[in-house]
Amino acid sequence: SSAQLVDFDYYYFVVQWPGSYCDLQKACCYPLTGKPAANFSIHGLWPEFLDGTWPQDCDTSQTFDLEQVRDLVPELNKYWGTLTCPSSDSTKFWKHEWEKHGTCTGLTQHEFFSKTLALMKSINLGAALEKANIVPSDTATYNVTQVQSALACAIEEHTPGVECNIAKSGNNQLYQVYVCVDKDGTTLIPCPAYPNGRCNATVYWPTF
């Protein structure tokens, strides 16, 4: 089966804050490998078009094959764990991300997962926030533009996209960060477009 060539323009490298995923109406569950670290974790590496649309499910013949990424599993568990219920190993999440987004990249499965892990390991978003005295808290609120400026310090001063969700309490809280990456899958770039992230001017960053 030949790799499908999709002429996407850039990537969103998307990470999630587990404290905000787990604070929604629907419950979260920790992966079988245990409670994840109190740090951002990988959601995915998504090919994007400049107009704000994106390709998905580009090659249904390339089903996820855990054997092709067997050597990466310890790091996938560490950085790319699932938070959906019931608790499971995270292979359904990896399968979903590969089949929906990965098959549009032109990369092999091994390249797709190893490039995404390399991005994760090279970027410490939590440390950048803490350096700016932005710490997880169930009471503090933060100016969202200050959050984005602090995050930019971790990604070569490029302002990332931010997405918020609504906690049970009603708080608007930082849920995901969108880092823009060149289609080489490695080079950080200024974001050509931002997702509609539903963040208020002031946001919570809850504990996990």
> Out of 10, 17, 36, 43, which residue is the one contacting ligand 5GP (CB under 6 A)?
43
Near ligand 5GP in 158-197, by CB under 6 A:
195-196
CA neighbours within 13 Å on the CB side: how many for 146?
15
To the query of whether residue 96 is one of the catalytic residues in this protein, the response is no
For ligand 5GP, the nearest residue by Cβ is 53
To the query of whether residue 110 is one of the catalytic residues in this protein, the response is no
For residue 82, state whether it binds ligand 5GP (rule: CB under 6 A): yes
- How far is residue 96's CA from residue 88's CA, in Å, rounded to a whole number? 14
For residue 44, state whether it binds ligand 5GP (rule: CB under 6 A): yes
34-51 burial, b if ≥16 CB within 10 A, otherwise e? eebeebbbbbbbbbbeee
To the query of whether residue 97 is one of the catalytic residues in this protein, the response is yes
> Out of 17, 93, 98, 113, which residue is the one contacting ligand 5GP (CB under 6 A)?
93
For residue 83, state whether it binds ligand 5GP (rule: CB under 6 A): yes
For residue 100, state whether it binds ligand 5GP (rule: CB under 6 A): yes
Query: From the CB of 29, what's the least distance to ligand 5GP, in Å?
Result: 9
> Which phi and psi (to 5°) does residue 110 adopt?
-65, -45
DSSP secondary structure of 9-61: -EEEEEEE-HHHHTTSSS-----TT-SPPSS-EEEEEEEE-TTS-------TT
Provide the H-helix boundaries in the chain.
Answer: 18-21, 73-79, 91-100, 109-122, 125-131, 144-152
For residue 56, state whether it binds ligand 5GP (rule: CB under 6 A): yes
What is the binding site for ligand 5GP (CB under 6 A)? 12, 16, 21, 43-44, 46, 48, 53-54, 56, 82-84, 93, 96-97, 100-101, 195-196
Q: Residues with catalytic annotation?
A: 43, 97, 101
